[in-house]
Amino acid sequence: MIEDKPLTSRMRSDGRAVSLQEYVAAGGYQGLRAALQLSRHQVIEQVAHSNLKGRGGAGFPTAKKWGLIPTDLARQPRYFVVNADEMEPGTMKDRLLMEGDPHQLIEGMIIGSYAVYASVAYLFIRGEYRQSNEVMKQAIAEAYQAGYLGQKILGSDFGLDLHVHTSAGRYMCGEETATLNALEGKRAIPRFKPPHPPVVGVWGKPTAFNNVETICCVPHILREGAHYFRSLSRTEDGGTKIYGASGRVKTPGLWELPMGTSAREIIFEHAGGVPDGCRFRGCLPGGASTAFLLEDHLDAPMDFMSLQAHGSRLGTGTLVVLDDTVCPVGMMLSLEIFFARESCGWCTPCREGLPWIAAMLEALEKGQGRQEDLHILQEHCDLLLLGRTFCALAPGAVDPLRSALKYFHDDFRRHVINRRCPWS
């Protein structure tokens, strides 16, 4: 059966997780069977043809990442790590995938591990996701029982152990190299790159690293073929996408839609638009670290390339919507408090710059802002760039701020001139 919502179509309406039986009945683990018939290289080729790009925020082609894992097998073991740390404010899609259909993720992880010669896989789940943790552990136990995990999977020579690692908190744990440090039982400080995890990953060994949603796509690519996967999309990037909307919308939620669906469709058709009597002002298209889109930009396809033309990114594809009832400066303050607090404390611009940003925004909101604060805020947006900071956290923190300063400049100025927040 060809399905246009491969990731979510099996999910039950009662909110219970799809069981192993239900999953298998719906064609589950066929992708794995198909993969095991192929060479590892062929699996990666399939994924390459599917044009699957990472759903964790950066949109890096998955096959390309896997291809960076050295093919000479001198350095063993290899690891496969899936990032379920989902802490980007406004983002709740991986929780849905784990709690709704855990075997889909497990199957993806097995196929991915096969492709990169990994013998151990870890699912790194944030600590607050109690239910995801339980559902996944239960499903993994089922998969072991049924012979999808362990030694000689489905009679092949391939074996895999899959473990859940429950995090103890911190947004930083989602940054790929910080995740690996957390996994090793260290402080979740990012690592220096290069070398990237495919070459020097967890415990110094080659490691594949992907987002939950990315890996959930993999079984379908192997089962139905790369062509099928690409055909799901409205643009170059393959597949469907779990889009979401929250904040100032009538019916917040998550929807699996063709990759490249416009923000307008998501906000106004699926999320019901902004509450009655309110005016749409802007949205963050993919979580807290993406730049604002305005009304004018809403028709752009929500894919990895198109939003760049408007100075933003797809990010996690879960929109956060702002209307005219909430102060954009207050919204920025909430965002920057988050980023300042979640900085790991390793590099100077992030550790010191973000709290300063937050302090200035707080002053603005309290009516104590100064004209020069706006200048210093802008300066930070120009300074906290990728490469100048140690990792992508701080650049992600100033992306929305930069766009806010541009699009809501008058609002910022009014805070200074009127010495109060116009919304307070």
Partner 1 sequence: MGVSPMSSTGVGPVAKKKKLPETRARRPCHEMGSIMLSDEVKKEIDAEARHYPQRRAVVAEALKAVQARRGWVDDESLRDVADYLGLSFDEVDSIATFYNLIFRQPVGRHVILICDSVSCYLTGYEKLLDHLKKKLGIALGQTTADGRFTLLPNACLGLCEQAPAMMIDNETYGHLTAARIDEILGKHE
Partner 2 sequence: MLTIYIHNEPYRVKAGINLLEACLSLGFNVPYFCWHPAIKSVGACRQCAVKVFKGPEDTRGTLLMSCVVPVADGMRISIDDPEAVHFRARVIEWLMLNHPHDCPVCDEGGECHLQDMTVMTGHVQRRTRFPKRTHVNQDLGPFVAHEMNRCIQCYRCQRFYCDYAGGRDFGVFGWHDGVYFGRAQSGTLQSEFAGNLVEVCPTGVFTDKSLAQHYTRKWDLTTGPSICVHCGLGCNTIPGARYGQLRRVYSRFNSQVNGYFLCDRGRYGYEFVNSDRRILQPRLRQEDGSLAPVAKAQALAFVGQALQRGKAIGIGSPRASLETNFALRKLVGAEHYFQGESAQKSAISEAILDCLQRGPTPTVSLHEVETCDAVLLLGEDVLNTAPMLGLAIRQASRNQPLEEVARLNVPFWLDLVARLITQDQIGPIFIAATGATRLDGLARQIYRAAPDDLARIGLAIAHLVDPTAPEVSRLPDDAFSFAHPVAEVLKAAKRPLIVSGPSLGSVELIHAAANAAWALTRAGKDARLCYAAESCNSLGAAMLGGGDLTAALELLRSGQADTVLIVENDLRRHMPENDFEELLSLARCVIAVDHLEQATTQRAHCVLPAATFAEAEGTLINNEGRAQRFYKVLPPPAAVQESWRWMGELWVASGRGEASPWPNFDAIVAALASEFAIFKDVPALAPPASFRQVGQKIGRQPHRYSGRTAETADQTVFEPPPPEDADSALAFSMEGTPLEPPSALIPRYWAPGWNSLAALNKFQIEVGGPLHDGDPGQRLIAPKPYPQSPYFKDFVSPFARRPQQFLVVPHHHIYGSEPLSAASAPVASLCPKPYIALNGADAAAAGIAGADQEVVLSLAGASLRLSVILDSTLAASLAAVPAGIAPFEGLDLPAWGTIAAAPAGGQRGGGGS
Ligand X SMILES: Cc1cc2nc3c(=O)[nH]c(=O)nc-3n(C[C@H](O)[C@H](O)[C@H](O)COP(=O)(O)O)c2cc1C
Give, as ranges, the residues between 33 and 72 that touch partner 1 (CB under 8 A): none
Per residue, the 3-state secondary structure of the chain, as one string, reads: CCCCCCCCCCCCCCCCCCCHHHHHHCCCCHHHHHHHHCCHHHHHHHHHHHCCECCCCCCCEHHHHHHCCCCCCCCCCCEEEEEECCCCCCCCHHHHHHHHCHHHHHHHHHHHHHHCCCCEEEEEECCCCHHHHHHHHHHHHHHHHCCCCECCHHHCCCCEEEEEEECCCCHHHHCHHHHHHHHCCCCCCCCCCCCCCCCCCHHHCCEEEEEHHHHHHHHHHHHHCHHHHHHCCCCCCCCEEEEEEEECCCCCEEEEEECCCEHHHHHHHHCCCCCCCCCEEEEEECECCCCCECHHHCCCECCCCHHHHHCCCCCCCEEEEEECCCCHHHHHHHHHHHHHHHCCCCCHHHHHHHHHHHHHHHHHHCCCCCHHHHHHHHHHHHHCCECCECCCHHHHHHHHHHHHHHHCHHHHHHHHHHCCCCCC
- Candidates 167-175, 259-267, 293-301, 387-395: pick the segment binding partner 1 (CB under 8 A): 167-175
| 302 is a site residue for partner 2 (CB under 8 A) | no
Site map (CB under 8 A) of partner 1, residues 281-320, x = contact: ---x---x-----------------------------x-x
Site map (CB under 8 A) of partner 2, residues 340-379, x = contact: xxxxxxxxxx-xxxxxx--x---x--------x---x--x
210 contact, one of partner 2, partner 1, ligand X, none, CB 5-8 Å limit per kind? ligand X
Binder to ligand X among 116, 327, 391, 421 (CB under 6 A)?
391
Binder to partner 1 among 89, 100, 206, 396 (CB under 8 A)?
89
Binder to ligand X among 83, 133, 389, 403 (CB under 6 A)?
83
Q: Which is nearer to partner 2, 113 or 343 (CB)?
A: 343
58 contact, one of partner 1, ligand X, partner 2, none, CB 5-8 Å limit per kind? ligand X
Binder to partner 2 among 127, 195, 275, 367 (CB under 8 A)?
195
| 187 is a site residue for partner 1 (CB under 8 A) | yes
Q: Which is nearer to partner 2, 348 or 418 (CB)?
A: 348
| 334 is a site residue for partner 1 (CB under 8 A) | yes
How many chain residues bind partner 1 (CB under 8 A)?
A: 67
Q: Which is nearer to ligand X, 265 or 399 (CB)?
A: 399
| 170 is a site residue for partner 1 (CB under 8 A) | yes
Q: Site residues (CB under 8 A) for partner 1?
A: 77, 86-92, 94-95, 122, 126-130, 161, 163, 165-171, 182-188, 203, 244-248, 252-254, 284, 288, 318, 320-322, 326, 330-331, 333-338, 340-342, 344, 354-355, 358-359, 362, 365-366
